[in-house]
Amino acid sequence: MHTTPEIQLTTANTAEAAAWLREALAIDNTAEVPIDGSHTSQAISLNFPKFTDGRAYSQAALLRGRLGATGPLIATGDVLVDQVLQMARCGFSHAILRADQSLEAAQRQLARYSRFYQVDAYQIEAPLRRQD
């Protein structure tokens, strides 16, 4: 079984959030992800304009999984506590929660499940299929 990947959390409008975004390349969720590999080690911010808009999950999975991005992937925008676990599993390394969201609640959400049977951005083979 697979354990939860690490993700760093902060809230919007903080000095920490500003520092994370200072040198990050912002990719709009309607834009194509650059597939030339030129940005794979750079910090990249992916925006969630509404919490119901999941295109940034796909962008993160593409960057981390297929393109081998090693730099920070930062979730921005309408980021809620309920989303952080899935963000971590899709490849985000950082999430900037909406200002009204609780960091403590987000940490509890990350600790809620410790193992997964499904593949994610960090584990590409289903655990039940492995022969270890």
Residue 114's identity, in one-letter code, is S
C-alpha span between 86 and 70 (Å, rounded)? 18
**What are the E-state strand segments in 44-128?**
44-48, 73-77, 94-97
Q: Provide the whole-model pTM.
A: 0.84
Which domains can be identified in the chain, with CATH numbers? 8-114 (3.40.50)
Alpha helices in the chain (DSSP H): 15-21, 55-61, 84-90, 103-111
Per-residue pLDDT of the chain in tens (132 residues, 90 and over written 9): 445 568 999 999 999 999 999 989 998 888 887 777 666 788 999 999 998 999 999 999 889 888 888 999 999 999 999 999 889 888 899 999 999 999 999 999 888 766 665 656 556 565 565 555
